[in-house]
Structure 1
Amino acid sequence: MKIESFNENLEFNENRVTTKVLIETSFSKEIRILLKEGQMMKEHKAPFPIIVHLLDGQIDFGVVGVTHPLKTGDVITLDANVPHDLMALKDSIVRLTISKLDRSERVEKVVADS
């Protein structure tokens, strides 16, 4: 058992999106993504299905060129290999659930390339 908080010890970075793996289980990795207003993650794909849960803030979540406005509490799921991007309209806390088979380094590379 492990207890973590997505809402504590927040360290937003003025210059780039930040990510942190908070929990790794036998089936998933739970990653916290912090985006300051105006920060984005460029279009990318995940090799396995993902779940994106907006814990706080407001983002535009683009899926294959269609923008879906998300507000605090919204959850969106995507199948594998679906192009998507994120733009923070307000400072935002995102919970990203990825497959245990996926690599958190892939998410960090997306951030670095954005």
Structure 2
Amino acid sequence: MKTASLTNDLEYNEKHPVINVLLDTDTGKEIRIAFKKGQVMKKHHTPFPIVVEIFEGSIDFGVNGEVYTVNKGDLLALEASVSHDLTALKDSIVRLSLNKADTAKRVEDVAKSSS
């Protein structure tokens, strides 16, 4: 059994969202993204389907030219290759479920290039 916490050892960065791998299992990865209010992850897409949970806060989630405000407790699923962007409306914690074949480095690169 593996365990993790979305709130323990939480860090924010003033320049860009902070990415942490919480769990890496045989079937997938659970990633925490910590956003300060106003931080952005610019438009990008994933090579595999993803599931996003807003654990804390509020995010404007852009998909195909539409913007959806998602709040604490909301879940969304995206298929592979769907372009999307995120903007934190307040300090937020996002849980991202990745396919095992996807990489946390790809997510980190998006976050760092968005600042």
TM over 0.5: yes
1:78 counterpart = 2:75? no
What TM-score do you get using the length of structure 2 for normalisation?
0.97
**Which moved further from structure 2: 13-22 or 35-44?**
13-22
Q: Give CA-to-partner distance per residue, 1:48-73, whole Å, 9 cap, x none.
A: 00000000000000001100100100
1:56 counterpart = 2:64? no
Instruction: In structure 1, give the amino acid aligned to 2:4.
Output: E
Instruction: In structure 2, give the amino acid aligned to 1:34.
Output: A
Residues matched between the structures, number: 114
Q: Give CA-to-partner distance per residue, 1:3-48, whole Å, 9 cap, x none.
A: 1100121111112110000101111100000000000000000000
- 3-state SS of paired residue (2:76): strand
- 3-state SS of paired residue (1:23): strand
Matches within 5 A, 1:24-39: 24-39=24-39
Deviation at residue 89 of structure 1 after TM alignment: 0.2
Instruction: In structure 2, give the amino acid aligned to 1:21.
Output: V
The answer for the alignment partner of 2:65 in structure 1 is 65
Deviation at residue 104 of structure 1 after TM alignment: 1.1
Q: Could you tell me the percent identity over the aligned residues?
A: 50
Instruction: In structure 2, give the amino acid aligned to 1:68.
Output: Y
Looking at structure 1, the residues matched to 84 and 105 of structure 2 have their Cα atoms a distance apart, in angstroms, of 18
The answer for the alignment partner of 1:88 in structure 2 is 88
What TM-score do you get using the length of structure 1 for normalisation?
0.98
The answer for the alignment partner of 1:98 in structure 2 is 98
Give the gaps of 5 or more residues in structure 1. none
